[in-house]
Structure 1
Amino acid sequence: MTAETAVVLSVLVAFTMALVWGLLVVAAQIQCVDAARTGARAAARQDPADAVVTVARDGAPRGARVSVAREGDRVRVTVVARPPVLSGLPFEVREEAVALAEDTVGTGGGGP
């Protein structure tokens, strides 16, 4: 009975750790979504690229990479982060947000 208990306990611990890691990944993804949206709003207001990156990094998980690109009348902010805890895995959370640049609003350059 002791051997069975040891096996069951180790499986339960591994399962619990996997669940916790999954929750941390979901939390990191939500942080990336929020950071990308915040950065896209700042970029749409024509804030400097350094300020956009700083604003996005403030809401992103620690160590996240933020990139800002302008594509015609739209700005795109991408946030890429490695999930916490098992960071040795080749797994990243990546989120993008796109916004219409305010200087193009009303000029007929894009959007409905």
Structure 2
Amino acid sequence: MAGCERGGDRGFVTAESAMVLPVLVMFATALVYGLLVVAAQIQCVDAARTGARAAARQDPPDAVVEVTRGAAPPGAEVRVSREAEHVRVVVVARPPLLDGLPFDVREEAVAAVEETVTVGAEA
């Protein structure tokens, strides 16, 4: 076979690997960071729902914040507001290991306030 020299391809695999390997590392890093963001978002959803349920049962405000922070990612900000018939819990957190990125994960849950029954009340 004329024109096919085996020695002419020497070094191409090394050069191609040197070009592809950094791209693969960046892709894997982006994938891991994406999973961390999704995990933080799921924790915020769970924390907001847990806090909304506790607030709807008319638990004390300190207990609502405490139970919400227990389910939220570390360092999360929790805001609880009460309206006439609804409670609203907002959880804002920064995903772990992503301090350099300028975004937070935010989730909000709203629940209807449950009526309390007073013991010994006459109908």
Bucket of the pairwise TM-score, normalised by the shorter protein: 0.7 to 0.9
- Same amino acid, percent of matched pairs: 74
TM-score calculated relative to the size of structure 1: 0.88
What pairs up with 1:1-112 in 2 under 5 angstroms?
1=12, 2-103=14-115
In structure 1, distance between residues paired with 2:48 and 2:80:
10
TM-score calculated relative to the size of structure 2: 0.80
Aligned length: 104
In structure 2, distance between residues paired with 1:49 and 1:7:
56
Gapped regions of structure 1 (runs ≥ 5): 105-112
Cα RMSD of the aligned pairs, angstroms, is 1.2
Gapped regions of structure 2 (runs ≥ 5): 1-11, 117-123
Based on CA coordinates, which of the two structures has the bigger radius of gyration? 2
Q: After the TM superposition, list the runs of 4 or more consecutive aligned residues in structure 1 that deviate by more than 3 angstroms.
A: none
Q: Which range moved further: 50-59 or 83-92?
A: 83-92
